[in-house]
Structure 1
Amino acid sequence: MANQPISPISWRGVFPAVTTQMHADQSIDWAAQAHHLEVLIDSGIHGLILCGSLGENQTLLPDEKRAVVKHAKEVAAGRIPVLSGVAEMSTAAACQYVQDMEALGADGVMVLPAMVYKSDPRETMAHFRTVAAASKLPIIVYNNPVGYGVDITPKMFAELADVETLVAIKESSADTTRITELYNACGDRYALYGGVDTLIPECVLMGATGWIAGVGLAFPKENARMWELMMAGEWDKARELWRWFLPLMTLDIGPHFVQKIKLVLQEVGLGSEWVRAPRLTLAGTERDEILALIHKGIAERPTL
């Protein structure tokens, strides 16, 4: 399908959270990054998110993060929206970053709570209001209490609904009831994205209209097909594809999810497993088990 620019408030569909491809010396591999972005765009995705958790945001230097987004904008060349994750230590740093993204021509940002310090609800909402006021860019609010220890509840989202540039939510609480609770609290005020790969069908059934994908980076055509089937309501076909996909989707879970997804990218020829320290590539029994899962998935890969 053709990719067309999408206006911020109508963002829908598959927005992969892209890895940052690296050489063995941990420097950025720009050629591999460009190749992967082209493969993703050709698969029919609807947007790109750079420098998220999977993009190793917090281990990239400030200039590197900005360079990664600038590079993606150049590769995408206006074909689809390009967004950046915002995962800074302070509200002030997040404000500066979104201003820099606006100057670079990013189409939007995906904002996390401030890192390390676990803010209370009042502080969390103040953070998002302040960051939103720092630029005109549309914002996906990333709620991941499992990973980051701060929960943005449906009640809090209802209170934030007056902030016009908060247009979407990446819901990664691992609780699919949140989709319904968000609709009950906020109506259709926000575009809702499922953010946990293993729970996507349930989220879509409850009304999610977007998927911020992880494992689909390695299987973009299958990811696109799964999305198309769900959107068409062809659930018998979707279930059949999902039963193949689900074991692979578990790679998106746990503290080593970046290493696992980069390893599967390597095994399908779309990248390398190199990560930035303190992360290290998988080793020992864990590596053997993950490779066995990946190779089984590749061997049983369906014909689309």
Structure 2
Amino acid sequence: MSMPNAAGSAALSGVIPPVCTPLTPDYQVDVASFVRLLDHLLDGGVDGLFVLGSSSEAAYLTDAQRRVVLETVVGHVAGQVPVLAGVIDMTTPRVLEHVRAAVAAGVSGVVATAPFYTRTHPAEIRLHFRTIAAQGGLPVYAYDLPVSVHTKLGAGLLLELAAEGVLAGVKDSSGDDGGMRAVIMGREAPFSVLTGSEVTVDSALWMGADGVVPGLGNVDPHGYVELYRCASRGDWEAARAEQERLVRLFEIVKVGGTRMGGSSSGLGAFKAALHLRGVIDCPITALPQIPLNHDEIGRIGKLLATAGLL
């Protein structure tokens, strides 16, 4: 599902999962498993795919591994749905190198955070996004991820860049529903607002968000597509029921508990679930993430079974 936007292309709506990157036991991209995962998502009825984001372990992948992901997804999907590529890096010159690789691969749009590691000013963040848009020639989606980049993209900045045609949309993973609502209410040019929260999708859609980018959508794409369809036809009771089933399933991300970081626990859970569902060969996560143990994977299996997925 799509609509025109100020960037002159199709702004996404619907369910756009941030695709996991399956790895082999020696930490290389498992292309065969990756292709099966892409088919699993397409069979689930998703509206687009987002590679090289947080759920893709983009922060852990080498540039060569990023290129393998890009070439595989664009070649395999072959235009069936739009493909967005994360071009996430610390500063504009580094991001532009990723933009060139993404453009060469043939993606539909790029996704960038504010600069990080460096301490930036809103004027520098504006210049960052304007430069990406000018040099890439593709729709640019801002990724609002303050937990990782330590900068919140305010509604004023997003709406200003949307009005300029610099930004085609935002993936809002800030957890600030009030800020997201301000963007939804303030947009004048078409601008795609996508929530990154797995557990409040029904309320975001009710507010007027255009779609969702759910990491848990790797595990259960059909569930998020059903949730979106219920909301689209105004059946909010059915949407809430499906959302609550997915909230219970989302407990898999906590199974790692305090034994590891949130990234290790969450991404490990998604991969363990995909492995248990027969989609990917190996649930390993990139170094230095701590792997889930046998007991933890067993607990994830029980949650999958409760959700009707095993």
The DSSP-based 3-state class of the residue aligned with 2:141 is strand
Unaligned runs of 5+ in 1: none
Change in 2 beyond 3 A, CA 1:185/1:237: closer
Counterparts of 1:290 and 1:245, CA distance in 2: 18
Deviation by residue 1:74-116 (Cα, 9 ceiling, x = unmatched): 1101111111111112201111221221122111111112242
Counterparts of 1:172 and 1:131, CA distance in 2: 21
The equivalent of 1:263 in structure 2 is: 272
Measured after TM superposition, the shift of residue 288 of structure 1 is 4.0
Change in 2 beyond 3 A, CA 1:35/1:47: same
Worse overlay, 86-95 or 159-168: 159-168
Measured after TM superposition, the shift of residue 300 of structure 1 is 2.4
The equivalent of 1:139 in structure 2 is: 140
The equivalent of 1:277 in structure 2 is: 287
Question: Which amino acid is the alignment partner of residue 299 of structure 1?
Answer: A
The equivalent of 1:299 in structure 2 is: 305
Worse overlay, 200-209 or 265-274: 265-274
Counterparts of 2:115 and 2:296, CA distance in 1: 35
Q: Where do residues 199-214 of structure 1 align in structure 2 (5 Å cutoff)? A: 199-214=200-215
Q: Where do residues 1-304 of structure 1 align in structure 2 (5 Å cutoff)? A: 8-187=9-188, 189-251=190-252, 254-256=262-264, 257-271=266-280, 272-283=282-293, 288=295, 291-292=298-299, 294-302=300-308
- Contact 1:9–1:191 (CA under 8 A) maintained in structure 2: no
- Contact 1:198–1:250 (CA under 8 A) maintained in structure 2: no
Measured after TM superposition, the shift of residue 61 of structure 1 is 1.2
The DSSP-based 3-state class of the residue aligned with 2:54 is coil
Question: Which amino acid is the alignment partner of residue 91 of structure 2?
Answer: S
The DSSP-based 3-state class of the residue aligned with 1:208 is coil
Unaligned runs of 5+ in 2: 255-261
Counterparts of 2:235 and 2:189, CA distance in 1: 24
- Contact 2:11–2:169 (CA under 8 A) maintained in structure 1: no
Greater relative CO, 1 or 2 (CA 8 Å, sep 6+): 2
Counterparts of 1:9 and 1:277, CA distance in 2: 36
Counterparts of 1:4 and 1:37, CA distance in 2: 20
Counterparts of 2:228 and 2:220, CA distance in 1: 12
The DSSP-based 3-state class of the residue aligned with 1:166 is coil
- Contact 1:176–1:199 (CA under 8 A) maintained in structure 2: no
Measured after TM superposition, the shift of residue 19 of structure 1 is 0.7
**How many aligned positions are there?**
297
Counterparts of 1:189 and 1:4, CA distance in 2: 11
- Contact 2:2–2:13 (CA under 8 A) maintained in structure 1: no
Counterparts of 2:297 and 2:19, CA distance in 1: 20
Measured after TM superposition, the shift of residue 158 of structure 1 is 2.3
Counterparts of 1:53 and 1:10, CA distance in 2: 21
